[in-house]
Amino acid sequence: MNTKEKIQTLRDELRQHNYNYYILDDPTISDYEFDMKLKELQALEEAHPEFFDSNSPTQRVGGEITKNFNTVVHDFRMYSLDNSYSKEDLEDWETRIKKLVDGEVQYTCELKYDGASMNLTYENGKLLRAVTRGDGVQGDDVTTNVKTINTVPLQLKGDYPERFDIRGEIILPIEGFLKMNEERIANGEEPYRNPRNTASGSLKLQDSAEVAKRPLECLLYSIKGNNLNISTQYEGLEMARQWGFKVPKEAKLVNSIDEVLEYVAYWDTHRHNLPYEIDGVVIKVNSLFQQEELGFTAKAPRWAMAYKFKAEQVSTRLNEITYQVGRTGAITPVANLEPVQLAGTIVKRASLHNADQIEKLDIREGDEVYVEKGGEIIPKIVGVDLSKRPENSKPTQYITHCPECGTELLRPEGEAKHYCPNYNGCPPQVIGRIQHYISRKAMDIEGLGGETVALLVNEGLISNYSDLYELTVDQVIPLERMAEKSAENLVNGIAASKQIPFERVLFALGIRYVGETVAKKLARHYKSIDALMYASTLDLVSVDEIGERIAESVVEFFSSEENKLIVERLRSFGVQLEISAEKLANQTDKLKGLSIVVSGVFETISRNELKKLIEDNGGKVSSSISSKTSYLVAGDKMGPSKRTKAENLNIQILSEQEFLDMIR
């Protein structure tokens, strides 16, 4: 056996032993024997660098230093999940599902691991990259650190697809977490707060050798890709297990919501026996064909639901109520609490939402309050222990003037929040708008963070987001914690944002009620900032899904001379204020005013491409058939109930080819 063959044989043996130990939990050799084989392989690889393989078992020990984690756009968006808390929530969800798909519906129940979401991409059986969830559209490349995790296979086994993504959760088992904290306490260091945050923080350590020392695991739960030859979620889990992934065996296939609730009830009781933390159960429609039929809302898949276990609750003293000013001028009251441990973290603050909430619960400074951390990240106060209220307690008087600029607050009719109307002179509003402008889903300006924005405003270098484009390296270098290289990156990042497409620029402007989805609709309809700027309220409400509140907000934004001046400055700097000629070439109004339902499997184009064609030609994609439906585009395997409903409502049914001919 020559050296190359010896190296390959050792790699194959070590991969199999790794699989036996970490995936099957059934080791066939001792730790000592494993270590000896690993050392033998390391010695051979060091003596023969020409046979280097980045996916060799020796690469798990880490050692690479990553100063900056590159941003990577996901091939398939990572959506968040809608939450449910009761039997009624799940039954309502099932009712919605059964209106949209035909036939029996099975569900896969899986435990909801409390860790850091991860997307792994494999090509030809090798790990290509590992990217954090980020904002769902793009995340950070942490491949070097993830390669150190033993339950992430670097080389797959069996008959796997040529290229695919697999999603999972990076977790820190409770036993490993406790051991890490024992060592920290023994060294006189502060213990880590909880396994979830420690796992997440581990992924962003610069030295991968440090990550390798942590007993992280990766539990996989979802495969994404094209032509995978997998028909159900449950089958996907079994296939992933065969390829070498650690897929928890607690997943269960069930036939009804009653069986789902039995699964939930069992794990609500038995979760404390698991080696890792869970905070609920994820329920998915099992059929991938039905999943495709159901599709997504703007934020979450319609075919999945998270059932969250009952929130933890503690009581603590409310020391003071303070008030925060948001970028829109909205005032949020905040409870400053006596620090208390809740759901693995120390809680010092909780949102009080608005004046009505304070009045409803009669919350006062000095009260002993009940704090809960359920489906929300930010803890909230859910009640007051009146038996412990001080005798000299006085009802809370909500503030009348802005805590930042002193302007008298307004409360628009029919709204719960108070607002500071000092749009251009209230510092948190000015800073908040610029922070929104540079954010990831908006202009995504690399090298510029929220703290730096605050510094730039406070130093008088900028007063609105159009000022960013006049910043120079010399102006930025004197700022705190700013070196020449980071100043250059900041200025270059601002210049690069001039290429961001119009719909994201429109979102970045920070017009109240104009989120990502609304910005896309308005950009697609008006095609340029000029057309939108002079649209009336009546004109705007005629746009699909644009209501009066959004329309009034857009008109109000552009009625401000200062906002119009800022837009003109953005134009002069070369920011994209209209849809590009390339995009316009692919867009028409052929389907304007038409609502179209897509159902079934298609031959020449994918369902997503078909939906994009509808939108690019001015139509609206609808998920269910109603009297307002203009056409049903029917592919293979479309359910009979959709066809029957369309026929009963006299809705024209088009084949894939008929639809393509129509738009051509």
The Cα–Cα gap between 480 and 486 comes to: 11
| Non-local CB neighbours of 567 within 8 Å, separated by 6+ positions | 509, 529, 533, 577
Residue whose C-alpha is closest to residue 249's, from 238, 258, 260: 238
| Paired tokens of 496 | 């690069």
Q: Are strands 631-634 and 652-655 parallel, antiparallel or unpaired?
A: parallel
The Cα–Cα gap between 664 and 660 comes to: 6
Residue pair 69/214 in contact (Cβ under 8 Å)? The answer is: no
Residue whose C-alpha is closest to residue 116's, from 230, 264, 246, 217: 217
Q: Are strands 304-308 and 83-84 parallel, antiparallel or unpaired?
A: parallel
Residue carrying structure tokens 């910005």? 519
Query: Choosing from 4, 37, 98, 112, which is the catalytic residue?
Result: 112
Residue type, 376: E
Residue type, 165: D
The Cα–Cα gap between 372 and 380 comes to: 5
Alpha-helical segments (H) within 527-638: 529-533, 537-541, 548-559, 561-572, 581-585, 607-616
What order do you get walking across the sheet with 620-622 strand by strand? 620-622, 595-599, 631-634, 652-655
DSSP state letters, 119-168: EEEEETTEEEEEEE-TTSSEEEB-HHHHTT-TTS-SB--SS--SEEEEEE
H or E stretch at 455: helix 450-458
395: number of Cβ within 10 Å: 9
The reply to whether 112 belongs to the active site is yes
The Cα–Cα gap between 537 and 540 comes to: 5
Catalytic residues: 112
